[in-house]
Amino acid sequence: MTEEKKKVKRKSTKVEKKEVEKEGKFTKREKIFIGVAIFTLIATAILCYILFGSKYHAYRAKWGINLPGSLQEVVSIKGKEDNFGTYNTYHVFKFEKEETVGDIVEWTKKDKGTVQYSNYKEATEEWLNVLNVKEKDRPNFEDLDYFYVNDEKSNEMILLKDGKNKKIYLLEYFMGEE
């Protein structure tokens, strides 16, 4: 072996020894990077929990309502799409305490009209008929609180609260794509 090759080999051996000695120790820059990475991971987890903590986060995203995770879904029906892509969904939730649902939305006793119907009861009955919902799973319209919202595409959502039987009825009507 020539003299030059021996020097190169000796230098690389010294570098390898330093790297072996350095193993397990972090520089200040590496410690800061690890700290920032851990902080970012924790902050992301907290943000995800806040945004999507409830299993009903889709309703918050679509309609702006925040259904509490303590609700128990007892009925869920999604209708079939027609040729135009129009369909309905229907959900019934049970709740234990009135306080858990009292502040979800601004409830009203007035039965107003929807985009297609003159009142909530008429819309609800029609949508439930389309979905073939059994009579026992339908709301009793004697003493309900209402909430209604629609969007720019004329999709609609009616939320009915039956405080006596501790149930919330959620109906959605989705228009097909234009």
pLDDT tier, 178 (very low <50, low <70, confident <90, very high otherwise):
very low
Between 156 and 24, the more confident residue is 156
- Which residue bears the tokens 């820059």? 29
Residues near 173 by Cβ (< 8 Å), separated by ≥ 6?
86, 88, 116, 123, 127, 155, 156, 157
Helix (H, G, I), strand (E, B) or coil at 134: coil
Segment (H or E) for 121: helix 120-130
Q: How many CA atoms lie within 13 A of 25 on its CB side?
A: 6
**Alpha carbon distance 149, 151 (integer Å):** 7
> By three-state DSSP, how is residue 161 classified?
strand
Contacts of residue 117, defined as CB under 8 A and 6 or more positions apart, other chains included, come to: 123, 126
User: What pLDDT is stored for residue 38 in this prediction?
Assistant: 92
What's 87's DSSP letter? E
Whole-model pTM: value is 0.61
Lowest pLDDT segment from 13-22, 46-55, 145-154: 13-22
pLDDT tens by residue, 93-111 = 787 777 667 777 888 888 7
Residue 83: DSSP 8-state? T
H or E, element range at 48: helix 28-52
pLDDT confidence band for 57 (50 / 70 / 90) = low
Which of 24-33, 55-64, 130-139, 153-162 shows the lowest mean pLDDT across its residues?
A: 55-64
Q: What is the per-residue pLDDT for 50?
A: 61
Q: What is the largest CA-CA distance in the chain?
A: 101
Rounded CA-CA distance 165/32 in Å is 56
Instruction: Provide the strand spans (E) within 26-144.
Output: 72-78, 87-94
Range 56-64 average pLDDT: 72
